[in-house]
């Protein structure tokens, strides 16, 4: 689940295939390239890769590009090619994107050090956040959510402070995606981050939590609203 970082319960769903006749489709946008021994995704991580009938992943996450793919038996792929509405009159990916995707796939398969470094950064960030008392939920992936209490205006002031004063870009999720009064900050570490980046991020999060708790962001957001009213 892209917001929370939790893996789907693939093993449990696979078990249901013994009782019910269905094809199993997995959208593994955040798992492909990051989970499993070889980076093949959540299915490999949970030991059920061969039980997935239709596998979808994107080039926009671990491959840092554009596009996506669906993998399945030839019969299924042929059917999708000629029946998906999105395929009608659609153009294929540009050649440079296709070549780039193939090269990135080769790197994922032949350079395990990239994934190893990624998880070194992920583990340092997630363990550091937990040690400092932050709620990161039950993430089982590189996606690192941080749950805070506050309003939407406070969330806007908070992420602006992070960006402008700490050099950290962080996307926010607020109501109605999550309950009122909650702020979800979603971070996705990469293999190119360093432990120094992690240290700076942890210090920044300590600072913004203090400002959130002491009402700084509430006052800032109130001032902005008042100015807009004038």
pLDDT (tens place) for every residue of the chain, 230 residues total: 888 889 999 999 999 998 999 999 999 999 999 999 999 999 999 999 999 999 999 999 999 898 899 999 999 999 988 888 777 777 778 899 999 999 999 999 999 999 999 999 999 999 999 999 999 999 999 999 999 999 999 999 999 999 999 999 988 888 888 888 999 999 989 999 999 999 999 999 999 999 999 999 999 888 776 666 65
CB 60 within 8 A of CB 91: no
CATH no. for 114-229: 3.90.1150.10
CB 31 within 8 A of CB 7: yes
Domain ranges of the chain: 10-110, 114-229
CATH no. for 10-110: 3.40.640.10
| Interatomic CA distance for residues 16 and 163, integer angstroms | 46
Looking at the DSSP bridge assignments, the partners of residue 68 are 58
Looking at the DSSP bridge assignments, the partners of residue 58 are 68
Rg (CA), the chain: 21
- Count CB neighbours of 144 within 10 A: 20
């Amino acid at each position: 689940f892209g917001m929370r970082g939790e893996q789907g319960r693939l093993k449990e769903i696979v078990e249901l295939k013994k009782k019910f006749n269905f094809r199993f489709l997995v959208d593994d946008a955040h798992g492909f390239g990051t989970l499993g021994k070889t980076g093949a995704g959540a299915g490999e991580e949970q030991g059920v890769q061969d039980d997935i009938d239709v596998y979808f992943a994107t080039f926009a996450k671990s491959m840092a590009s554009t596009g996506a793919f669906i993998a399945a038996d030839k019969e299924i792929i042929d059917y999708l090619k000629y029946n998906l509405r999105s395929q009608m009159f659609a153009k294929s990916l540009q050649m440079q994107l296709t070549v780039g995707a193939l090269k990135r796939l080769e790197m994922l398969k032949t350079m395990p050090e990239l994934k190893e470094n990624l998880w070194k950064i992920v583990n340092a960030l997630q363990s550091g956040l937990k040690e400092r008392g932050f709620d990161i939920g039950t993430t089982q992936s590189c996606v690192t959510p941080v749950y805070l209490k506050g309003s939407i205006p406070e969330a806007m002031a908070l992420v602006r402070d992070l960006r402008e004063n700490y050099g950290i870009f962080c996307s926010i999720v607020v109501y109605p995606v999550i309950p009122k009064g909650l702020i979800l900050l979603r971070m996705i570490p990469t293999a190119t981050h360093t432990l120094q980046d992690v240290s700076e991020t942890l210090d920044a999060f300590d600072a913004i939590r203090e400002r959130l708790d002491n009402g700084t962001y509430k006052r800032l957001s109130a001032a902005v609203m008042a100015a807009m009213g004038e």
